[in-house]
């Protein structure tokens, strides 16, 4: 073998680059989990701009519908009766007609909802179906439908993550995690709440707060929130929270009572939402008729109480910042619940997160008026009960008390609110769970077959997470070819294959001693520095077995081979950890 054969291309510059590559590998130890954090940050940024674009498009369409550059409530108050009836009906009609396109793509869709994509575990969202649903939500939201805007924001942000995962050809576990990051970015963008956005996905969707899965959610949420605040400002969404002050510990007792009341009232709220669905399911009519009817009902209610239009954010702020007579607030609460039940039941695309916040704020305010009448000397404010009621109602309705507590804190940026909202939320959660209602998102997950999917996930093996290994070398590869291969790869081990049979690996650190010995470079080939006793996985092994072997090998990536020794692909430790961390403990053990 000549020196030209052995060191082709091994100039001083190439040798210097290899030394830098080894130095970085020894000190930075950049693995797949760190790469996932980087992609989570990118998804947070892209998800935030997707949310900004959707919000501005909704405002533009609202102006087109109403002719007013005002908030939804102000616009409807300025319109005559016939337009209050007509605009929500037309919006519902257009939203329903848009959904007709979904049936054309149904057979081609892997998943049509971000929760389904995360729970199913494939991380694939149908682009066309997601866009159809978002356009439908666009028509509903701009025309005053009484439904939350977080649904399309989360859907679009998750879609961006899913497309990115497919484009980069990420394995199953990482695509699933990226979609979860997109969902967290969507929630964070909607409410300027990075911690609550991460906990929303961790508690409700993933059912786990394991750090391997939770860390990327936090990164995505924080980046999304920073992007949104740079565009919209960094003020608290609920400025009324700044006025909250806990005067004495005795005030905590009424807040505990509020938690009990919210725990008892939440099942009725959930039953009303499901009742709306059941009522519209009895109507044997096309989806566009149902959505138009839902819009007409909302329009009819706005004739008397125009405050019910929109997702309820304006109403929440009004409840927390303005004095209300209990009779007026009770009427608005009832009308808003009926409008939300009609919109939600008709099949409109969106969420009920913000309407739930309003229900909690109004219920808490009414409870606060009663407490202030009973204990006038305590100096309590009904608005404070409205704040605490939001957290308690949200905790009971979603079954995610930690998320609810953090959400209220982030919405108000008031530290003093933490103790009372913690007490009320936990009490409301346990009271509501004792009555065993279906949670706000439990029914959605059940409809998407979460139980069957969990059983399917428990049977997945190493082969299901495997990706093709394109970074292989021949055992006769020259030292120069090995060095250049490491410059092109981010991995610290390259697999040596002959006739598609796995022989061993070459470590980045094993070639380091030969960089200063040019006379040996001309003689060395990959087989000379190969490790032939390297740990390998089998495609039928469980995830827990794979994790145990990763611990023994202390490697970030292991080859997957058939019994005959054929190299089938590779699996990273990060993918196994994300897979196990993305499920509740019982499912992970079953895997």
| CATH code of the domain covering residue 378 | 1.10.3080.10
Same domain, 215 and 67: yes
- The residue out of 395, 423, 451 marking a domain boundary is 451
Q: Which domain holds residue 76?
A: 32-236
User: Of the candidates 359, 419, 416, which has an alpha carbon nearest to the alpha carbon of residue 389?
Assistant: 359
47-75 pLDDT, tens per residue?
999 999 999 999 999 989 888 888 888 88
Q: Three-state DSSP class for 207?
A: coil
Rounded Cα gap, residues 192 and 222, in angstroms = 9
Phi, psi (rounded to 5 degrees) for 558: -125, 145
User: Same domain, yes or no, for 332 and 255?
Assistant: yes
Alpha-carbon gap, residue 281 to 276, rounded angstroms: 9
Radius of gyration of the chain (CA): 28
Report how many domains make up the chain: 3
User: Which distant-in-sequence residues (6+ apart) come within 8 Å of 124 by Cβ?
Assistant: 110, 111, 117, 162, 166, 175
Q: Do 74 and 184 lie in a common domain?
A: yes
Q: Please check whether residues 417 and 465 belong to one and the same domain.
A: no
Query: Is the distance from CB of 549 to CB of 576 less than 8 angstroms?
Result: no
State how far Cα 271 lies from the chain centre: 26
Is there a single domain that holds both residue 67 and residue 20? no
Residue 494 lies in a domain: yes
Q: Is the pTM of this model over 0.85?
A: no
- Among the three residues 394, 422, 451, which one is the final residue of a domain in this structure? 451
For residues 23 and 47, state if they share a domain. Answer: no
Instruction: Flag whether 143 is in a domain.
Output: yes
Q: Decide if 290 is inside a domain.
A: no
Convert the pLDDT of each residue in 303-344 to its tens digit.
999 988 988 888 888 888 888 888 999 999 999 999 999 998
Question: How crowded is residue 163: how many other Cβ atoms within 10 Å of its Cβ?
Answer: 17
Looking at the structure, do residues 488 and 509 belong to the same domain, yes or no?
yes
CATH number reported for the structural domain that contains residue 16 in this entry: 3.10.580.10
Q: Which of 115, 83, 198 is nearest to 133 (CA)?
A: 115
Q: Quick check: is 8 in a domain?
A: yes
Determine how many CB atoms are found less than 10 A away from the CB of residue 230: 10
Dist CA 53 CA 359 (whole Å): 28
Q: Is residue 437 helix, strand or coil?
A: coil
Tell whether 376 and 272 lie within a shared domain. yes
Do the domain assignments include residue 563? yes
Half-sphere exposure of 157 (CA within 13 A, CB side): 38
**For residue 343, how far is the Cα from the chain centroid?**
24
pLDDT recorded at residue 23: 65
Confirm if 278 and 446 have CB atoms less than 8 A apart. no
Looking at the fold, whether 281 and 420 belong to one and the same domain comes out as yes
Residues 267 and 398 both lie in one domain: yes
Is residue 302 included in any domain, yes or no?
yes
Out of 451, 479, 507, pick the residue that ends a domain. 451
Q: Which two tokens stand for residue 57?
A: 């498009």
SS3 106: helix
Are residues 332 and 436 located together in one domain of the fold?
yes
In the beta sheet, which residues pair with residue 148? Answer: 351
Q: Is residue 574 part of a domain?
A: yes
Q: What share of the chain is helix, strand, coil (3-state, %, to 5)?
A: 70, 5, 25
CA distance readout (Å), 540 to 120, 460, 560, 567:
20, 9, 10, 14
Tell me 587's DSSP state: H
Residues 207 and 102 in one domain: yes
How far, in whole angstroms, is CA 43 from its chain's centroid?
A: 11
- How many angstroms separate the CA atoms of 211 and 334, rounded? 42
Q: Rounded to 5 degrees, what angle do the CA atoms 363, 366, 372 make?
A: 140
- Per-residue confidence of the chain (591 residues) as pLDDT tens digits? 344 444 444 567 777 777 776 666 655 665 667 778 888 999 999 999 999 999 999 999 998 988 888 888 888 888 898 989 999 999 999 999 998 876 665 544 444 455 554 555 566 777 888 888 889 999 998 898 888 877 888 889 988 988 888 888 787 777 888 888 898 898 888 888 888 888 888 777 666 666 667 888 899 999 999 999 888 877 666 655 445 666 777 778 899 999 999 999 999 998 998 898 889 988 888 888 999 999 999 999 999 999 889 888 888 888 888 888 889 999 999 999 999 999 989 988 887 888 899 999 999 999 999 988 888 777 778 888 898 999 999 999 988 888 889 888 888 877 778 889 999 999 999 999 888 777 776 655 554 444 444 554 556 677 777 877 767 888 888 877 787 787 777 777 888 888 888 888 888 777 777 776 666 666 778 788 888 888 888 888 887 778 778 777 767 788 888 888 888 888 877 777 766 655 543 343 343
In a domain, 291, yes or no: no
């Amino acid at each position: 073998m000549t020196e030209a054969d052995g060191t082709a291309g091994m100039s001083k510059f190439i040798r210097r680059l290899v030394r830098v590559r080894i130095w970085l590998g020894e000190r930075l130890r950049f693995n797949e989990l760190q790469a996932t954090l980087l992609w989570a940050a990118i998804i947070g940024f892209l998800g935030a701009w997707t949310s900004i674009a959707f919000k501005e498009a909704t405002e533009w369409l609202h102006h087109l519908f109403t002719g007013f550059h005002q908030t939804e409530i102000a616009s409807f108050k300025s319109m005559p009766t016939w337009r209050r009836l007509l605009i929500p009906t037309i919006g519902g009609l257009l939203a329903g007609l848009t959904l007709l396109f979904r049936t054309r793509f149904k057979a081609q869709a892997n998943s049509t909802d971000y929760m389904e994509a995360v729970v199913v575990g494939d991380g694939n969202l149908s682009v066309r179906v997601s866009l159809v649903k978002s356009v439908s939500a666009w028509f509903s939201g701009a025309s005053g439908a009484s439904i939350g805007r977080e649904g399309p924001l989360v859907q679009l942000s998750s879609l961006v993550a899913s497309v990115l995962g497919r484009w980069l050809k990420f394995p199953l576990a990482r695509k699933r995690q990226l979609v979860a990051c997109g969902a967290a970015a969507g929630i964070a963008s909607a409410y300027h709440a990075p911690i609550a956005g991460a906990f929303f996905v961790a508690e409700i969707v993933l059912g786990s707060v394991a750090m391997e899965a939770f860390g990327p959610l936090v990164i995505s949420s924080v980046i999304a929130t920073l992007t949104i605040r740079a565009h919209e400002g960094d003020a608290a969404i609920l400025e009324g929270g700044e006025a909250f002050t806990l005067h004495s510990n005795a005030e905590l007792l009424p807040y505990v009572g509020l938690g009990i009341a919210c725990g008892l009232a939440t099942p009725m709220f959930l039953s009303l939402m499901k009742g709306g669905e059941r009522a519209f399911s009895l109507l044997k009519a096309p989806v566009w008729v149902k959505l138009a009817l839902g819009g007409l009902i909302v329009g009819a209610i706005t004739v008397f109480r125009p405050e019910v239009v929109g997702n309820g954010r304006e109403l929440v702020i009004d409840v927390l910042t303005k004095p209300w007579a209990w009779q007026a607030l009770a009427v608005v609460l009832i009308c808003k619940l009926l409008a939300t039940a009609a919109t939600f039941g008709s099949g409109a695309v969106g969420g009920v997160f913000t309407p739930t916040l309003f229900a909690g704020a109004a219920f808490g305010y009414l409870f606060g008026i009663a407490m202030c009448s009973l204990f006038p000397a305590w100096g309590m404010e009904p608005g404070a009960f409205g704040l605490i009621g939001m957290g308690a109602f949200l905790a009971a309705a979603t079954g995610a008390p930690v998320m609810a507590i953090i959400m209220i804190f982030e919405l108000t940026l008031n530290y003093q609110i933490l103790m009372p909202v913690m007490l009320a939320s936990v009490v409301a959660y346990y009271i509501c769970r004792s009555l065993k209602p279906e949670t706000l998102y439990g029914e959605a997950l059940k409809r998407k077959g979460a139980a069957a999917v969990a059983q399917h996930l428990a049977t997945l093996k190493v082969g299901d997470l495997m990706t093709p290994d394109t970074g292989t070398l021949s055992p006769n590869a020259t030292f120069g070819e090995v060095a250049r291969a490491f410059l092109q790869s981010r991995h610290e081990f390259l697999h040596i294959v002959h006739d598609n049979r796995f022989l061993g690996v070459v470590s980045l650190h094993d070639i380091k001693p030969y960089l200063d010995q040019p006379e040996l470079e001309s003689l060395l080939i990959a087989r000379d520095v190969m490790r032939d006793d390297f740990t390998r996985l089998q495609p039928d092994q469980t995830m827990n077995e794979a994790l145990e072997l990763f611990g023994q090998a202390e490697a970030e990536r292991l080859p997957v081979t058939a019994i005959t020794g054929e190299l089938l692909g590779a699996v990273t430790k990060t993918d196994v950890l994300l897979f196990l961390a993305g499920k509740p403990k019982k499912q992970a053990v079953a895997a």
